[in-house]
Amino acid sequence: MFANPFKLKKLGILGMNKRNIYYIGAQNDRKYYPLVDNKLKTKVVAQNANIAVPKLLVTIERQSQLRNLAEMLTGLDKFVIKPAQGSGGKGILVIMKREGDEFIKPNGQRLGLKDIQRDISNIISGLYSLGGKPDVAMIETLVEFDPIFERYSYEGVPDIRVIIYKGYPAMAMLRCSTRESDGKANLHQGAVGVGIDMASGKSLSSVQHGKPITHHPDTGYDFLELEIPYWEKILTLAASCYEVTHLGYLGVDIVLDKNLGPLILELNARPGLAIQIANRIGAVKRYDVIDKQPEGLDISQRVKFSMNHFGTKQDT
């Protein structure tokens, strides 16, 4: 279905070149990139706009601070360490619990303080940042996912990616972690992408490593039964990030915390194209529809428009 370039165009599949020129290049003013390329900045901006995010616990900027890591982690049993300027799940360490001196990862692997020091040292030295620039390590609260997703995610928090084009939700997928992805819901780490119907929040079709699958590889549950709760609320939260970032082409990642509800995990100015494969539909037709809409509609009007026009029954 996705092989022949002529067929791809007919299906309205957005490719890398067109995305870079007509969507990222044309819609996203470079001066707003730092806001989304740096997760610390994103947190501040989101909080100022009253958008909920996982709580920041500690930031580590210098190698010398690592001597005091044991004190910094006092009282923290479950947390996530990540590079402020990382992407694709690289350099992210999810710690589920602590047993004595050991820190336990989602896959059961046990780490000592020295292992964590080394990981943070790598983050600070820029191993995972764009262009290898020195970075900051941030430690935030572990999101405990809504039990609704228990069947569909293996030892990790699933996230909901929504593409917001000119403020309109255009396409969505749920990314579910697997044994292979080790607590992270990034497709390149081996997570499953599940296309989601814009009208209802119900699942459409799923892919892992670019190939169609029907059941979760570890839990065995059928993705077809999946339905995301609070769907309109989630789309509204995602669409509100347009006003906050001024980016016309934006990937918004949302997680559902069992106690706190929907949280913004991160924002992306260069969202990937695999969401089209998960949905088995090209994005271009939807972007063309949005291009014809009047500007200046408020968030709830835009969300209603997308739910009414981009449900699978409406797409041809």
Ligand X SMILES: Nc1ncnc2c1ncn2[C@@H]1O[C@H](COP(=O)(O)OP(=O)(O)O)[C@@H](O)[C@H]1O
- Interface residue list for Mg ion (CB under 5 A): 253, 266
Among left, alpha and beta (phi > 0; psi -120 to 50; other), residue 11 is: alpha
Can residue 186 be called a binding residue for ligand X (CB under 6 A)?
A: yes
How far is CA 49 from each of CA 53, 67, 110, 140, 150, rounded to the nearest angstrom?
Answer: 11, 36, 38, 19, 31
Element (H, E) at 265: strand 261-268
* Closest CB to ligand X among residues 8, 148: 148
Q: Which of 195/272 has CB closer to Mg ion?
A: 272
86 lies in the site for ligand X, by CB under 6 A: yes
Output the smallest distance, CB 308 to ligand X, in A: 29
Burial of 156-167, coded b for 16+ CB within 10 Å and e otherwise, reads bbbbbbbbbbbb
Tell me if 130 sits within 8 A of 157, measured CB to CB.
no
The window from 80-88, 97-105, 165-173, 293-301 that contacts ligand X (CB under 6 A) reads: 80-88
Q: Choose the one of ligand X, Mg ion, none that binds residue 247, judging by a C-beta under 5 to 8 angstroms depending on kind.
A: none
CA distance 242 to 251: 10
C-beta neighbour count of 50 within 10 angstroms: 8
Stated as kind and residue range, the H or E segment containing 8 is: helix 5-10
Decide: is 279 part of the binding site for ligand X (CB under 6 A): no
Q: Does 140 bind ligand X (CB under 6 A)?
A: yes
Q: Name the residue nearer to ligand X (CB basis): 158 or 248.
A: 158
Our finding on whether 146 is near ligand X (CB under 6 A) is no
What residues numbered 35-74 form the site for ligand X, per CB under 6 A?
54
The entry of ligand X, Mg ion, none that residue 157 binds, CB within 5 to 8 Å by partner kind: ligand X
Q: What is the CA radius of gyration of the chain?
A: 19
Q: Answer whether 159's CB lies under 8 Å from 265's CB.
A: yes
Among positions 106-125, residues that touch ligand X (CB under 6 A) are none
38 binds, among Mg ion, ligand X, none (CB under 5 to 8 A by kind): none
**With CB under 6 A as the contact rule, which of the stretches 24-32, 109-117, 139-147, 195-203 interacts with ligand X?**
139-147
Residues of the shown chain interacting with ligand X in the complex, contacts defined by CB under 6 A: 54, 80, 82, 86-90, 92, 94, 140-143, 156-157, 159, 177, 184-186, 253, 265-266
